[in-house]
Amino acid sequence: MDSLSVRTEIEELIKTLKLDRSGLFEVGKDKWIRILREIEERFLVKTHHTQGLHWGWNRLQEPRHSASFADKDYGKLRDIIQDESIWFIAEDCYDKLWLYEGKRATVLQVIPELCHLNEYYLISKKLQWLLCEDHHDMLHLSGQPIIDRWMR
């Protein structure tokens, strides 16, 4: 396994921080393709069938909003994400995506600790909103509920 893998890093953090596995776990191989497709269909404007979430923040459907996230104010993310359970997609090296299900508090505890995380997505399990932090420290939001809470 690649020592720079964000997947490995997440697993190590779960152990090191002694996190409850119910707070963050990888989605099973029998479910992740369907879930990723549903997320892509709901939130992306696709001009070709091969386009996925890699750089998907460039193709978010309306309503959408982008803002600088250079201050890394994860407290604000805790405030605007009201769902207790969310999808967390971590982009690994070579553009590999790992899909996790987790509790908001646990996911937001792990993200700041990840050294090899390039980009990530947080998504409502009801597909009401999507949030992405890209490799330029920009936050991209799609879905009116999350945009409204951000703008407050």
pLDDT digits (tens, 9 = 90+) for 120-145: 999 999 999 999 999 999 999 999 99
Question: Which tokens hold the place of 52?
Answer: 């996925």
> DSSP letters of 2-18?
-TT-HHHHHHHHHHHTT
CB 146 within 8 A of CB 76: no
Structural domain tally of the chain? Answer: 1
Q: Which residues contact 17 (CB under 8 A, 6 or more apart)?
A: 109, 110, 113
* Three-class SS state of 45: coil
12 inside domain: yes
Smallest CA-to-CA distance from 141 within 62, 71, 74 is with 62
Per-residue tokens: 126? 């009801």
**pTM across the whole model:** 0.93
Amino acid identity at 100? Y
Q: Is residue 38 part of a domain?
A: yes
Are 67 and 139 a contacting pair, CB within 8 Å? yes
Residue 1 lies in a domain: no
Q: Is residue 68 situated within a structural domain? A: yes
Whether 41 is covered by a domain: the verdict is yes
- Domain holding 74, by residue range, is 6-151
Residue 112 falls inside a structural domain: yes
Angle (CA) 70 76 81, round 5°: 120
Mean pLDDT of the chain, nearest integer: 93
pLDDT the model gives residue 2: 54
Tokens of 53: 């979430």
Q: Is the pLDDT at 33 greater than 80, yes or no? A: yes
